[in-house]
Structures are given as C-alpha cells and as structure tokens.
Chains A and B, each alone.
Chain A
Amino acid sequence: MSERYGCFNEIDPNNYCEHMCLSFKPSSVPIKQRWRNNGLSADFLGDYLTTFFPKDNEQPDSAKKQAIVRDAATYIANELLENAMKYCDENGNIPNSIDLTLLPDQLIFTEINGISAGQKTEFKAFIKELESSDPDELFMKRLEASAESDSASGLGYLTMINDYQAELGWQFDDINDACKVTTQVVIKI
C-alpha cells in the first residue's frame, strides 16, 4: 500500500519537454568513495538543463535565468542524492534513482531510494512536523538547533522550500521488510 504526503504530481509523459534519469546501485562501493558522484551527477543535471535556457545577447536576462535554473537544479539534485546516499538501506535491493523532468513552467525532481523501517518512522515524524509548522519558522529553528547539534537533519528540504520556493511530496511503498521512498520536488521556472 502506498502512503503519500505533501504535494505529489503524476507526470504526464505526453506533456514534458525533457526527461532524464540516472540510477545507481547503492551497495556497489563504500559511501565515502561514492560521495563525489553526488556532486558529479548534480552538476551534470544542472549543466544539461542549460541547453534549454540558452544565453541570448538580445535578451539581457537570459544569462541570469540560465544561471538561476542551473544553480537551483544543482542544489536540489545534490541534496536529494546526498539524502538518498546517507539514508539508503544498503541491505535492500531497491536501486537509487534521480529523475529530472522539464515542463514548460516547472522542473520536477523525483528521487527514489530504499530505507529501513526505523528510518521510515523518523522520516514520517519529520514530514509531520513540516506539515504542522510554518516552514520559515521551522527553518530558523533548525538553523538555531544546528549550534547545539552535530546533525543538519532536514535542512536540505527546508532550504528547498524557503530559498527555492519548492513544493515537496513523498510516497512510501512497503516492499517486504524494506520501504521504497519516492521524494518529489517541484520548482517553478
């Protein structure tokens, strides 16, 4: 059974302009060794998008627009990939994937990874706190809490919402003893 939280969009394959998917096997090499691939993949997705937002000398804002779209795509993709790597259930057989869909006025990121039952409980508690809070207040509360803690939990999602005006959604699907979590991030472009 699927459980959904937040804003979750069904992507119409006839409507998108561009679509790209990268997938990884979570347990193939140690996390420390794989960490740099998050940056490489995120940079690739950001750079790939610039083709669809070309610089035009007759439109002075086009270079700025390209830089803004590239920056947003790189930040969001990197955070999703880092989260998937940090929290993925290496004992499960659910591959990690990140999927980028370009619509006429939106960018949709869809990240899939496996998590353990314990991580699912923690994740759902965070989502519940997010849904019952003002995101800006929660963001500042978490920034203040960072001074007292060695964890930056949830800051990536809160930055996406507060600084990039992103809408977030999650879907949980139980598969045997593991759980597949799908995180979707939508930004207007």
Chain B
Amino acid sequence: MIKIEDDNYQVEYQPADSVVRFTGTLRLGGLSEYAPIADCLTQAVTESDALTLSLKELEFLNSSGIAMFSKFVINARNKAEFKLVVVGSQSVPWQTKSLNNLKRLMPAMELILE
C-alpha cells in the first residue's frame, strides 16, 4: 500500500484492490506540490487495466488539484481499454458541480455519485 498524507489530507493506494482513496481537504500550492500524488496515480494506471478513485471523503479540492485530476484522467484516457471509475458523494457540493468535467474529458469513465 502507498500512503501520502499531511495534517489535512490522506491518499491511500491499495494495489490489490486497484483503489485510490482520498480523504480530507487538498489545497496544495500548485502542480509541483501535487507531484507525489500525481506520481502515485500514474503508477496505479501503469500497474492495472482498471482503477477506482474514491473521492467521497474529499471535502475540498482547489483548482491546482482539479488540474492534477484532469491530467490523470487524460493519461488514463490515452491507455487503451483502461477502465476508470470515479466514486463521489452527492452530499459534497463541489463534487456534484465539478466531477462531471472529468467525465467530459473521458466519456468512457464511469462516474458514480452516491
């Protein structure tokens, strides 16, 4: 398992389940500060043909985080036959507004808002 965390957020990648779970608030200062998380996501795409991003407990994401996820989704889109599932929550307002943009980047992505 790979775990990246600080006082405000936690990212956990479970290769056995092909799941990356995000919790907390992500407000890092630009794409360079998101690099360890982006590298973890790239590794997850490389290691499997399917991946689930669980964002249900990610309460806040700034625009640099949106850019990081967009970059990741485009990377996943470019891998043939890759199955990506993004699970969000109806009770986290930013997710109901912004997660659909990722699906627009990768129409084959499955977006579930629980």
A152-B66 contact in complex given A32-B29, A147-B75, C-beta closer than 8 Å: yes
Main SS of chain B's interface residues? helix
Shortest Cβ distance from B74 into A: residue: A147
Does A146 contact B71, Cβ atoms closer than 8 Å? yes
- Segment from B11-19, B47-55, B79-87, B97-105 that makes contact with A: B97-105
Main SS of chain A's interface residues? helix
- How many residues on A have C-beta within 8 angstroms of the other chain's C-beta atoms? 30
Checking A32, A39, A82, A159 against B66 with a beta-carbon cut-off of 8 angstroms, the contacting residue is A159
Give A152 to B32 CA distance when docked, in angstroms. Answer: 11
A75-B60 contact in complex given A32-B29, A163-B98, C-beta closer than 8 Å: yes
Question: Is A22 on the interface with B (CB-CB < 8 A)?
Answer: no
Contacts of A163 in B (CB 8 A): 94, 97-98, 101
- How many residues on B have C-beta within 8 angstroms of the other chain's C-beta atoms? 26
Question: Is B21 on the interface with A (CB-CB < 8 A)?
Answer: no
Contacts of B93 in A (CB 8 A): 67-68, 71-72
Give A141 to B101 CA distance when docked, in angstroms. Answer: 12
Give A68 to B75 CA distance when docked, in angstroms. Answer: 31
Does A155 contact B104, Cβ atoms closer than 8 Å? no
